[in-house]
Amino acid sequence: MNIKHSPKSLADAPLGKTSENPNAYSPEILFPIPRSENRQTLGLADSTKLPFFGVDIWNAYEISWLGMTGKPEVAIAQIQTPAESPFIFESKSLKLYLNSLNHSRFASIEEVQSIIAEDLSKAAGAKVSVKLSGPELWPKLKFKEFEGKLLDRLNLEIDPNLGPDKSWLSAKEDESPVEETLISNLLRSNCPVTGQPDWASVQIHYVGPEINEEGLLRYLIAFRQHQEFHEHCVEKIFCDIKAMCKPSKLSVYARYTRRGGIDINPFRTDFNAPWPENTRQARQ
């Protein structure tokens, strides 16, 4: 899908500004943000040669529209945007767009699902999948925490005002390779527009030289003052681990807590790793 968007500055996005809720269906509210700007800072200028593939999983919990009789309907949306899409959508613009459905009438949940998928695909410049779950499916929703070796058990001293320094990352390159999964619940980054904190748990699975756990935890904690979107943070973590620890296989998955009724969960991998199940965690 080859979609061209007029260049826009992030300063023009609705995030961080007072916004009126739309009272009619308004797909033009969606604000695309190019992935390329952040990827260039990671040395990924050529979007056709990314060192990873993956998906951004968005869950939107405040979906509502009107049935043909005017009676409101509600649902939870699961939105999956491929990592190779040229654009992401700014989160507040997505919220406003979804709110614009509140006063419009649709014949079925399938029609709403199809319209959202079409609009988001145009904004992202790639096929976006959307699944709406009505209340009859909510009892089937489950919670599950990340599985793996918890880094947070380690005691260390760190200046929480330092930014993430990839030189803290290292691995035992002179020893036999290992395969393991490391997790932490201490990832916190900040919105680059509002400065508000974004909280997440992160799971790192790799095959290769054994990663120094203390250095990795120090690196993850140092995102505490880092200002970047969720997707960009995960891609930075992926690229820095790949560069400094040299695993032959690597996947990074972060599940962020929701803001504005939406949570965003980026996944990046360079091998045929199991695809995320999108199971909610306790903090979500």
The phi, psi pair for 37, rounded to 5°, reads: -60, -45
Label residue 103 exposed, middle or buried (CB < 10 Å: 0-12, 13-18, 19+). middle
- DSSP letter assigned to residue 198: E
Q: Which of 235, 262, 179 is nearest to 39 (CA)?
A: 235
Counting Cα atoms < 13 Å in the Cβ hemisphere of 215 gives 16
Indicate which residues carry an active-site annotation.
191, 198
Question: Of 267, 268, 237, which Cα lies nearest the Cα of 169?
Answer: 237
Q: Is 60 helix (H, G, I), strand (E, B) or coil?
A: strand
Structure tokens, 9:
């500055």
**Considering Cα of 175, then 176, then 177, then 182, what sign does the dihedral take?**
negative
- Which of 219, 212, 256 has the alpha carbon at shortest distance from 239? 219
Spatial distance between the Cα atoms of 34 and 32, rounded to a whole number of angstroms: 7
Backbone angles phi, psi at 247, to 5 degrees: -70, 150
Please answer whether residues 17 and 40 qualify as being in contact, where contact means their C-beta atoms are separated by less than 8 angstroms.
no
Q: How far apart are CA 10 and CA 26, in angstroms?
A: 20
On the CB side of 66, how many CA atoms lie within 13 Å of its CA? Answer: 12
Q: Which of 106, 42, 59, 47 is nearest to 284 (CA)?
A: 59
